[in-house]
Amino acid sequence: MDVIKKFAIALGQGELVIFPTETVYGLGADATNSRAIQEVYHVKGRPSYNPLISHVDGIEMAQRYVQFDEISFALAQHYWPGPLTLVLERICGSSLAMEVSGHGKTAGIRCPAHPKALGLIKEFGKPIAAPSANIFGKLSPTCADDLDPILLDKVPNVIDGGPCHVGVESTVVYVHQGQVTILRPGFITQEDLETFLGKKVVLSTTDNTAPKSPGQLTSHYAPNKDLRIDVKEKEATETLIGFGQIPCDINLSEKGDLAECSRNLFHTIRLLDKDASVKKIAISPIPNYGIGVAINDRLKRASQKKGKSNDK
């Protein structure tokens, strides 16, 4: 049987399926099945107050579960399929499991731009809830080889779609009373959104005591080894990840291309994290504009010592 068909059936039976998207790999479950969603939280080790993104095959499917305000609708029309998650009000009687909403009134919805993800959602016929397919607080996997063996032990259903084209997680946007707020920066930038909408878009700042998005916790996306960011000169014990035309041990993009940098980012950190000859990791400065904002957001969290945050 075709692998997409087989795994769509598995989802219907409450099983979990790891699948590729254009951003990162997702740990998927039937978004209408509370038990399956509880299993996602359990397997990932994620606190249940942190809501999940439900993946749809387009606006029509989304409208069966959530309602769009005018601006969110325009954003979905323009950016879907693509790396944009919209936080939307659940419709009255929505059959999305309450767990995907962290028991709140909203749900994060996105339509991924990946043929295998879209194929799986279409075949399944309902939204697939999926956080990134990593153990909570660790780096998101951007290829099947980067999936954590502990996770694979618990979830053997994997669709391999090769390397993810974007490499950082989607931009999460919330529109409230006409105000557009980015809850998590991503591939679609503040500038992109402002140009498209012709209005100001706010980038939310982190409040460590009341996180609006778990991706916004202080320590997240963390490798096991020490990671130092904004490094102009490496120390003797460090391996330097570079950007642009500088001397370094491994380069994210020699030509200084931020999209190439985001595509290579998590995989490169992971490679060095696994390499026994590497003691400490250092990363040279990445420009803080465009996708660089999302990259620096992830790097800042990845470089935090875990003890400092509420992310356990």
Enumerate binding residues for ligand TXA (CB under 6 A): 21, 23-24, 26, 50-53, 83, 85, 87, 101, 106-108, 110, 112, 130-132, 169-170, 172, 183-184, 212-215
For Mg ion, the closer of residues 251 and 296 by Cβ is 296
Q: Tell whether residue 142 is a contact of Mg ion (CB under 5 A).
A: no
In degrees rounded to 5, what are phi and psi of residue 110?
-150, 155
Neighbours of 191 (CB within 10 A): 12
Cβ 178 to Mg ion shortest distance, Å: 29
| HSE-CB for 265 with a 13 A CA cutoff | 36
Q: How many CA atoms lie within 13 A of 164 on its CB side?
A: 37
Q: Measured from the CB atom, is 161 or 292 closer to ligand TXA?
A: 161
Looking at beta carbons only, is 213 or 284 nearer to ligand TXA? 213
Beta strands (DSSP E) in the chain are 17-19, 26-30, 53-55, 66-67, 84-90, 106-110, 128-129, 171-176, 179-184, 201-203, 227-228, 238-242, 250-251, 280-283
Residue 176 corresponds to which amino acid?
H
Structure-token pair, residue 238: 């460090």
Nearer to ligand TXA, 26 or 292 (CB): 26
Residue 107, binding choice from Mg ion, ligand TXA, none, Cβ under 5 to 8 Å by partner class: ligand TXA
Q: How far is the CB of 41 from Mg ion (least distance, A)?
A: 12
CA dist 75 and 98 (Å) reads 25
Query: Which strand (E) or helix (H) includes residue 50?
Result: none
Q: Which does 32 bind (CB under 5 to 8 A by kind): Mg ion, ligand TXA, none?
A: none
Residue 132 binds Mg ion (CB under 5 A): yes
The residue number with the shortest CB distance to ligand TXA is 108
Choose between 64 and 154: whose C-beta lies nearer to Mg ion: 154
CB of 220 to ligand TXA, least distance (A): 9
Does position 85 interact with Mg ion (CB under 5 A)? The reply is no
In 3D space, the residue among 173, 229, 224, 182 whose CA is nearest the CA of residue 202 turns out to be 182
Picked from Mg ion, ligand TXA, none, the partner binding residue 206 (CB below 5 to 8 A depending on kind) is: none
Q: In this structure, are strands 17-19 and 84-90 parallel, antiparallel, or unpaired?
A: unpaired
Residues found near Mg ion in the complex (CB under 5 A): 132
